[in-house]
Amino acid sequence: MQRAVTILTISQIRSMKIIDGKKIAAQIRVEIAREAADLVRLGITPGIAVILVGDNPASVSYVTAKERACSETGIRSFMSRMPVETTQDELINEIKRLNADDSVHGILVQLPLPKHIDESAIIRAIAPEKDVDGFHPINLGKLLLGEDDGFTSCTPAGIMELLVRSGVDTSGKHAVVLGRSNIVGKPVANLLLQKKDGANATVTICHTGTPDATHFTRQADILIVAAGRPNTVTADMIKPGAVVIDVGVNRVPDTSKKSGFRLVGDVDFDAIAPIASFVTPVPGGVGPMTITMLLANTIKAARRCAT
């Protein structure tokens, strides 16, 4: 059965506020470039090493975007391209080499890795002080404890920046996170509940084991959706005036596009936009923030060398 298409009126479009991730990311990158230049004047050129194993098209695209972002902000990027046949020991040896290289302040291993390599073992091999992706157990532990000297996973960090820079008050609000992944759901839930400015929310996490997620999403002042499935959240699941952050990126068929598909989030944007007070689009919402926060983490790692 086809879903009815929602046509937004001019008044509805004007009443909602789009959180422009591209604009906010651009603002942060100007700040990052300024900090990078300050570090260079101190004799420290921020550097990040990116390791790509194999030639997965999506991974190649992501890595290219990261290299371009580094170039635009004055961060030096070191690229290690390794064949898909690379063994786990060979990859760990490359990480050890980069761990010992003082010109490399951050290390990122592009995921996913070939199936014969244990991703957990690779993440643990990265020195925590160079884990700018924020996936190492030590950095995840520091996030849980509310310590600021670790690295926060890039997408959750980007979500928090979107909320703060859009003027969204999180203190005392009920935040519902749809999804419990180690990359987004769990970290962002922990960031929201911390006792500090820009957080201090009451947090509920819903997941595939939640019998009636709608019961909770309708209560959400802030709803963060990272379910990995298009149109997971529909208009009947939204509380009027809620802030909706859509983390999803899904390809759906679209014969009107040259590519044959278009990108959509996990939220039925056209249906919920008139109901929400703030909403992130896909693309152009959370996505641009992820690489930006990777750059911010690299600056943070390099800054430690100046103290």
To the query of whether residue 133 is one of the catalytic residues in this protein, the response is: yes
Q: What are the angstrom distances between the C-alpha of 110 and each of 54, 168, 182, 190, 230?
A: 10, 32, 16, 24, 24
State the Cα–Cα distance between residues 154 and 220, nearest whole angstrom: 23
C-alpha 284: how far from chain center: 12
Query: Which of the residues 20, 110, 173, 266 is marked catalytic?
Result: 110
Sign of the dihedral defined by the CA atoms of residues 149, 301, 303, 35, in that order: negative
Query: Which of the residues 20, 66, 239, 266 is marked catalytic?
Result: 66
Residues 6+ apart with CB under 8 A from 122: 88, 91, 92, 95, 109, 113
Q: Give the three-state DSSP class for 176.
A: strand
State the Cα–Cα distance between residues 178 and 247, nearest whole angstrom: 10
* CB contact at 8 A, 91 and 147: no
Query: Which of the residues 20, 131, 133, 246 is marked catalytic?
Result: 133
Crossing angle (nearest 10°) for helices 185-193 and 137-145: 30
Which residues partner with 251 through β-bridges? 263
Residue numbers annotated as active site: 66, 110, 133
